[in-house]
Structure 1
Amino acid sequence: MIINGEMLLRRMTDKDYYLMVKWLNDPNVLEFYEETPLCLDDVIVKFGPRIEGKHYVTPFIVEYINEPIGYIQYYKITNTDYNLYGYSQVENIFGIDQFIGEQYLWGRGLGKSMIVMMLDYIGKNENISRVVLEVKNSNYRAIHCYKKCGFKKVKKLDNELCLMEWIKQ
């Protein structure tokens, strides 16, 4: 568990499947989070191995004032990602992905809080040199948030996506 004031990042459990179904079927969330709508069985297949520690992705549920509001995950990037992003595999690079699933909380600075908490956690618990994320060029709110967290745009991946990185100090 990672706690900072009224925000908590806790490891995802099988009790969170229905939350993920709800959030991953919300068209407003999916507009920017690269996922297709998922039914309960799909969520179990995708997130079950992550919950059980049998996958390279480590999943967390974000809670704010004791209510689940979103999702964040971290992972060591794959060899394919090293090549795509143009990094040397000598570096220890991690990736993160996240969303706030409760729209009424968008624009309140909670995204920045959860990302900073995760960066601090990864920085203390993993031997990292940098953290990367992919973001849609049209997701201005997220890009602004990521910049506030210390990320910089480093590469255009295609017409829709860019790569942003945060370098550990």
Structure 2
Amino acid sequence: MKLWEQDELSLRTLTVEDASILLKWLSDPTVLAYYEGRDNPHDEALIQQHFYEDRDGIHACILEHQGNAIGYVQYYEVEGEEREEYGLEQTQGKVIGMDQFIGEPAYWNQGIGTKLIQSMIHFISATEHADTLVMDPQAWNTRALHVYEKCGFVKHRFLPKHEWHEGEYRDCWVIIYPVRQQSGHELKDKGVHLS
């Protein structure tokens, strides 16, 4: 099911048939360097475990460019201990976390990541009535952090040795997008057409 489209990009719900696409992306060392780690190539069983089993509350999606699958996006409500770990226990309203990657390196460095994040801000705010969006990218990934900050995310909390990646625990930043503050209580239309 298509969730939104903007220009040549669209987002749709993940299907069982997408397992082969995920397998292609997550066995590519170029992609794994930024997502999951080059020492953690996925096989079919790992794809099933990570993307299809026990996924209650997680909205899993495929990003398309002109109808071709090029990336993965997931979003979910952040509650309880995770909210405390992120330093958001005092934050009012609904907090939505999101993760994403572009699995086709040919589409990197073309502004697609920026368009994706801007579209997701609009989409999640409109459909989930989120008050705050949150991500926790690894601190060394300055390219991703630059994109997120350009889209309005701000650094909120530093998490030392937070995520296992390529043989060591890596530092991460909790970054947030305060939807209601940024939008003046109403998010302006960014050209995203919700389906």
Give the alignment's TM-score, normalised by structure 2. 0.79
Tell me, in whole angstroms, the C-alpha distance in 1 between the residues paired with 2:99 and 2:47.
Answer: 16
Residue number in structure 2 paired with 1:85:
86
Partner of 1:153: 155
Report matched runs for 1:84-103 at 5 Å: 84-88=85-89, 90-103=92-105
Extract unaligned runs of 5+ from structure 1. Answer: none
Length, aligned pairs only: 166
Whole-angstrom CA distance in 2 between matches of 1:19 and 1:108: 21
Q: In the TM superposition, what are the counterparts of 1:120-159 in structure 2 within 5 Å?
A: 120-159=122-161
Give the CA deviation at 1:37.
2.2
Q: CA deviation at 1:9?
A: 0.5
1:59 aligns to what SS in structure 2?
strand
- Partner of 2:148, secondary structure, is helix
2:79 touches 2:95 (CA, 8 Å); kept in 1? no
Q: Is the 8 A contact 2:71 2:104 kept in 1?
A: yes
The one-letter code sitting in structure 1 at the alignment partner of 2:115 is S
* Identical pairs, percent: 32
- Report the equivalent of 1:17: 19
TM-score using structure 1 length: 0.91
- Which residue does 2:176 correspond to in 1? 165
Report the residue type matching 1:61 in the other structure: I
C-alpha contact (below 8 Å) 1:9/1:114 kept by paired residues: no
5+ residue gaps, structure 2, are 162-170, 184-195
Report the structure number with the largest CA radius of gyration. Answer: 2
More helix, by proportion: 1
Output the amino acid matched with 2:89: S
Task: Report runs of 4+ in structure 1 exceeding 6 Å deviation.
Answer: none
Residue in 1 aligned with 2:60?
59
Note the aligned Cα RMSD (angstroms): 1.6
Q: Could you list the per-position Cα deviations for residues 132-169 of structure 1 after superposition, in whole angstroms to 9, with x for gaps in the alignment? A: 00111111110111011111111111152111111102
For the Cα contact (< 8 Å) 1:93–1:132, is it kept in 2? yes
